[in-house]
């Protein structure tokens, strides 16, 4: 039987005997652990020499002697000569010094696991009998993927002295459009403070002990004010909990993420931001609309539909080479269109409204600036929706062979589209 131990080598003497390819693979790992590494070998391969030249590594250019072992916490032997490796391993055994015999791992007093990390979790894989590094590495990679994707239970079970907050951008909705880091942080969370939009389905996959707080806003209905959300973040983090603020899209794109970061930092709470796939580009993409396209649109103007209409926005809508993307703009659409046309924007400018992008309820209404208000009303367009104004919204842009059929349906605002 083999017992696995987590051993800290930081600041401790580690002797590597041999300077070949095996040493090259292992040396960086010891350096990453903060070990004080010594190498004894007549020669070094190029990879080892490069690491020796760029790190503080002592190299003695000769064959190893038993005296070299003195003072080492761990010895790693990989000379390429099985008899030499066995002799050094035996001497380590006599001196009660742990030794990794890379030529025959089953006969050393220690083995290196195939490691994978996710946050502060380290998982090591090795064979209990015999040596099969290929199998261990393959299993490590599979476990690593599951850890990084948040598919294994990562939540801590012991209380912590200090909590923290992670603002996680959840993207437009589907869980598989979240970042890997975001999924992992959710798996580590004690408390999730979630918006109405975004990948809410992943909440059902969390540990039953995770507290989920719904602070979702709807148009005209903000049941939990922003200050109360800020207070929740600080309160739970101060209680030593790992808090994830799960948002739709990206935390810093009309998500008030900046305000939440300021609140956490003012309270002395560690906080980090995990970007998310913003609906500015992802929702139009779901409808086959690129927000930029060579020879058509070289820039993007983003508008908060709930804000005041600016001259910059009106100029962008009138510019043939600019794509204007309006978020939260369904209610403001008549006011925006009237102002744009009055400012000289052409009534034939293509417009697309993409509702509930990346969900089974997704629907696209394609029309023009002069007709969009009537077409949106006829179709019963509702939030969440992203409005794209510009030549990239023209149905002929990417799918000319489908344009006529699609236009016939979408211009009338067919509610079954």
Cβ contact 91:69 at 8 Å: yes
Single out the residue of 219, 220, 240, 236 nearest to residue 228, CA to CA: 236
Single out the residue of 101, 139, 113, 154 nearest to residue 6, CA to CA: 113
Angle between helices 46-54 and 21-32 (to 10 degrees): 30
Question: Which residue is listed with tokens 């908060």?
Answer: 304
Question: Which residue is listed with tokens 């009537």?
Answer: 374
Cβ contact 166:185 at 8 Å: yes
CA 82 to chain centre: 45
Of 47, 207, 217, 414, catalytic: 217
Q: Give domain limits for the chain.
A: 13-112, 164-274, 280-410
pLDDT confidence tier of residue 345, bands split at 50, 70 and 90: very high
Rounded to an integer, the average pLDDT of 377-381 is 96
- Res. 181: pLDDT tops 50: yes
Rounded to an integer, the average pLDDT of 190-204 is 87
Single out the residue of 161, 155, 166, 158 nearest to residue 233, CA to CA: 166
- Res. 300: pLDDT tops 80: yes
Q: For residue 87, what are the contacts with CB-CB under 8 A and spacing of at least 6?
A: none
Residue 5 or residue 407, greater confidence: 5
Task: List, for residues 199-221, the tens digit of each pLDDT value.
Answer: 888 888 888 889 999 997 665 55
Q: What is the pLDDT of residue 408?
A: 42
Single out the residue of 261, 259, 235, 212 nearest to residue 163, CA to CA: 235
- Res. 409: pLDDT tops 70: no
- Res. 415: pLDDT tops 50: no
Question: Do 164-274 and 13-112 fall under one CATH topology?
Answer: no
Q: Is 195 a catalytic residue?
A: yes
Range picked from 140-144, 250-254, 404-408 for highest mean pLDDT: 250-254
Q: In degrees rounded to 5, what are phi and psi of residue 40? A: -120, 115
- Res. 411: pLDDT tops 90: no
- How far apart CA 185 and CA 243 sit, in angstroms, is 9
Average pLDDT, the chain: 87
Q: Is 320 a catalytic residue?
A: no
Of 68, 85, 195, 375, catalytic: 195
Task: List, for residues 47-86, the tens digit of each pLDDT value.
Answer: 999 989 888 789 999 999 999 999 999 999 999 899 999 9
Angle between helices 180-188 and 133-148 (to 10 degrees): 80
- Cβ-defined contacts of 359-366 (< 8 Å, 24+): 359/173, 359/174, 362/286, 362/287, 363/415, 363/417, 364/287, 364/410, 364/417, 365/410, 365/413, 365/417, 366/393, 366/395, 366/406, 366/407, 366/410, 366/411
Q: What is the pLDDT of residue 130?
A: 61
- Res. 18: pLDDT tops 50: yes
Domain 280-410: top CATH class:
alpha beta
**What percentage of the chain reaches a pLDDT higher than 70?**
89
Q: Which CATH superfamily is domain 13-112 in?
A: NAD(P)-binding Rossmann-like Domain (3.40.50.720)
**What percentage of the chain reaches a pLDDT higher than 90?**
63
Cβ contact 276:174 at 8 Å: no
pLDDT confidence tier of residue 394, bands split at 50, 70 and 90: very high
Task: List, for residues 85-118, the tens digit of each pLDDT value.
Answer: 999 999 999 999 999 998 866 667 788 777 777 7
Q: What is the pLDDT of residue 142?
A: 79
CATH of domain 164-274: 3.40.1010.10
Q: What Cα–Cα distance (Å) separates residue 255 from each residue in 42, 234, 268?
A: 60, 18, 22
- Cβ-defined contacts of 339-346 (< 8 Å, 24+): 339/309, 339/314, 340/313, 340/314, 340/369, 340/389, 341/369, 341/370, 343/314, 343/315, 343/317, 343/318, 344/318, 345/314, 345/317, 345/318, 345/369, 346/318
């Amino acid at each position: 039987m083999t017992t696995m131990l987590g051993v800290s080598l930081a600041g401790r003497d580690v002797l590597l005997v041999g300077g070949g390819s095996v040493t090259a693979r292992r040396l960086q790992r010891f350096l990453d652990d903060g070990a004080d590494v010594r190498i004894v070998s007549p020669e070094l391969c190029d990879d080892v020499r490069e690491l020796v030249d760029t790190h503080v590594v002592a190299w003695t250019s000769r064959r190893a002697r038993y005296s070299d072992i003195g003072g080492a916490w761990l010895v790693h032997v990989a000379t390429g000569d099985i008899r030499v490796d066995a002799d050094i391993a035996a001497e380590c055994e006599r001196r009660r010094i742990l030794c990794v015999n890379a030529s025959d791992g089953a006969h050393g007093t220690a083995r290196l696991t195939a490691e994978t990390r996710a946050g502060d979790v380290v998982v090591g894989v090795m064979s209990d009998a015999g040596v099969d590094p290929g199998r261990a590495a393959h299993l490590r990679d599979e476990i690593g993927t599951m850890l990084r994707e948040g598919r294994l239970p990562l939540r801590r079970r012991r209380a912590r002295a200090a909590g923290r907050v992670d603002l996680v951008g959840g993207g437009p909705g589907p869980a598989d459009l979240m970042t890997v880091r975001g999924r992992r942080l959710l798996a580590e969370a004690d408390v999730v403070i979630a918006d109405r939009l975004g990948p809410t389905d992943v909440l059902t996959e969390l540990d039953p002990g995770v507290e989920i707080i719904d602070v979702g806003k709807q148009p005209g209905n903000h049941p939990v004010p922003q200050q109360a959300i800020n207070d929740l973040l600080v309160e739970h983090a101060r209680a030593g909990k790992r808090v994830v603020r799960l948002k739709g899209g990206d935390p810093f794109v009309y998500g008030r993420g900046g305000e939440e970061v300021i609140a956490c930092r003012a309270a002395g709470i560690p906080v980090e931001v995990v970007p998310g796939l913003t609906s500015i580009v992802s929702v139009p993409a779901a409808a086959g609309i690129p927000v930029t396209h060579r020879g058509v649109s070289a820039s993007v103007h983003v508008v908060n539909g709930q804000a005041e209409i600016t001259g910059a926005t009106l100029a962008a809508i009138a510019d043939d080479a600019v794509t204007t993307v309006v978020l939260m703009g369904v209610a403001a659409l008549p006011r925006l269109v009237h102002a744009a046309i009055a400012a000289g924007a052409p009534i034939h400018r293509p417009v697309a409204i993409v509702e509930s992008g990346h969900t089974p309820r997704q629907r696209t209404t394609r029309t023009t600036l002069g007709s969009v208000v009537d077409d949106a009303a006829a179709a019963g367009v509702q939030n969440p929706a992203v409005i794209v104004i510009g030549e990239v919204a023209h149905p002929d842009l990417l799918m000319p062979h489908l344009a006529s059929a699609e236009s016939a349906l979408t211009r009338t605002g067919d509610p079954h589209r």
